[in-house]
Amino acid sequence: MKIFLILKCLIICLPLCSLAQYSTVSDIYNRNQEIIWEWELKEERLFASVGVICDSFECSAVSEINVETGDTLWSRMMPWMDASGNGIASKGDTIFLGGYNPPIRDRIYLHKSIGKDSISTNIYSFPDSLNNIAMTGLFQYRDKTIYHGRINKQNGTVDPAFICSINNSGELDTIIQIASGNNSNIIFRVQEDKEGYLTVLNESFENTPEPNSFFARRKHFLKFDENLKLVWEWRASIDQRYQGQVPSRFLVMSNGKIVFPSDDNSSFRREIWALEDQEIVWKYNFPWDVNSARYQVNHMIEAANGDIVGCGTINGPPLPDAGIYGYFFRMSPNGIMLWERVVAENRNNEFIGMNNYLGYNSGGFSELVELDDGSFIFGGNQEIWYYDENNDAKSNDDIWIVRTDAEGCLLDECGYLQDLTSRLYQPMAYDISLCPNPTSDYFVINYSKDISLMEVFIYNLSGHLVFYLDGPVSGEEIFVNQLLTGMYIIKGTTKEGGVWTDKIFVN
């Protein structure tokens, strides 16, 4: 096991069956939320739009991720932009990041030429009759930058979805409103199809007529030409409504089909549908009963050979414990499942030892990309638990990057469930003691001659490295008088790959 430590940012990288595969968790800003929303691969450089916490509210950051290791190379916080309402895209040599301003939400931003130390920004305001912008992403379409989301219409009863375009001159020149739902509407995703049309998914929310009125969500696909004129649309029938929180992403395939997550009007069962022209041509039903897992498909792409590759989360039996796990799959263009993978990785033992409550695993994926060698990179977040200054259990959401081979494998013994936890934590059965403990100056580690300690790490209760020692000798004085008063987690590793953890108190 290799551990890479970087100042200001704790990154733990786990090499697996080859140099290509890895699983990396990064805590960039020491905030209690860091989640990848979208990313863009540009000439072997991976740029990610990240949601973080700025002071007391959610905001955005942009990061560049090392494709070879999963490390975060640099990150730039943007406290003026909302965390979940931003998108990232590229055109030529330029990376674009768009978003809107919380909490007022009366303008949108377009950032260009984004780098570690440089950025160019344009700001656009909507007409006074439109307010409370909820932007959900952007897309580079021909010579336009397309923004989309939802707006509140003053003195109106329906909140419309919107598409707006910014032309090559940097001017906001078109705003299209879509209000097919009688309650509210929102556009989460747009793509370009094989004929060059801009394909849009609007989620319409509506109250059905009396006497048996109920609240329904329905999929509404639209296609626009290069002048943003509507040329085609399809709307799910009322019996194709759905109740669950189905992610609003979709995939326009090279064969013309639109593939998207849906359900069968159930809060639990998940499906994937394929739409061609005006017909649903196939459905894939994820297994569901009281003894089966719960699936959430967050994103899908078309692989180089035409297959569908997707990612998300999974939880429930027959998986262990009560955790939420990373999930990805590959299916044929006709909806036949080829393989599924579940990644279980509990990093909490790296910081706080074997505590049952803090052994809860939670994590999943929201983005993926296929590389030229056929391997995949999946991005999302993993929940890390820790003790605060009052010794109460708290949690962080940190960035989680996983790279697999073309078969979705991280381990040599690749199967449905790939549990990486055992590779992270190998407890030692040796007798090791610390004294004095508590201490105000120094302590020594006493252990027998048959133990070969390689390294010693000391973490604070937020899981951040505060002290490191290479090759300590039994009985050697280790000075910690520079540390603040409190409890710390100490961890040692051996030549044999064993791991030992304990607590030490500094007073």
User: What pLDDT sits at residue 403?
Assistant: 93
Q: Please state, in angstroms and rounded to a whole number, the distance separating the CA atoms of residues 323 and 34.
A: 19
User: What pLDDT sits at residue 359?
Assistant: 39
Domain ranges within the chain, ordered by starting residue: 432-506
Higher pLDDT, 212 or 477: 477
Identify the band that residue 317 occupies on the pLDDT scale cut at 50, 70 and 90.
Answer: low
User: What pLDDT sits at residue 372?
Assistant: 92
User: What pLDDT sits at residue 463?
Assistant: 57
User: What pLDDT sits at residue 291?
Assistant: 60
- The arithmetic mean of pLDDT across residues 175-194, rounded, is 84
Higher pLDDT, 109 or 183: 109
Q: Please state, in angstroms and rounded to a whole number, the distance separating the CA atoms of residues 454 and 420.
A: 22
User: What pLDDT sits at residue 425?
Assistant: 44
Helix, strand, coil percentages, rounded to 5, for the chain: 5, 55, 40
User: What pLDDT sits at residue 117?
Assistant: 73
Identify the band that residue 81 occupies on the pLDDT scale cut at 50, 70 and 90.
Answer: confident
Q: What count of residues does the chain have?
A: 507
- C-alpha distances (whole Å) from 187 to each of 2, 22, 99, 440, 489 are 43, 34, 14, 58, 46
Which residues is 96 bridged to in the sheet?
89, 112
User: What pLDDT sits at residue 19?
Assistant: 46
Which two tokens mark 272? Answer: 């994937």
CA 466 to chain centre: 28
Which two tokens mark 370? Answer: 């296929």
CB distance 432 to 445 below 8 Å: yes
- The arithmetic mean of pLDDT across residues 392-400, rounded, is 76
- The arithmetic mean of pLDDT across residues 478-500, rounded, is 79
For the cut 70, the answer to whether the pLDDT of residue 507 exceeds it is yes
For the cut 50, the answer to whether the pLDDT of residue 26 exceeds it is yes
CA 69 to chain centre: 17
- The arithmetic mean of pLDDT across residues 153-178, rounded, is 82
User: What pLDDT sits at residue 426?
Assistant: 44
For the cut 70, the answer to whether the pLDDT of residue 16 exceeds it is no
What is 432-506's CATH number?
A: 2.60.40.1930
Which two tokens mark 250? Answer: 């979709």
Give 302-335 as a DSSP string.
E-TTS-EEEEEEEESTTSSTT-EEEEEEEE-TTS
* Coil vs helix vs strand at 290: coil
0.85 surpassed by pTM: no
Percent of the chain with pLDDT over 70: 75
Identify the band that residue 331 occupies on the pLDDT scale cut at 50, 70 and 90.
Answer: very high
Q: Please state, in angstroms and rounded to a whole number, the distance separating the CA atoms of residues 392 and 220.
A: 46
Q: Please state, in angstroms and rounded to a whole number, the distance separating the CA atoms of residues 247 and 419.
A: 26
For the cut 70, the answer to whether the pLDDT of residue 8 exceeds it is no
CA nearest 182: which of 163, 156, 164? Answer: 156
- Identity of the residue numbered 308: I
Task: Sort 433 into a burial class: Cβ within 10 Å, 0-12 / 13-18 / 19+.
Answer: exposed
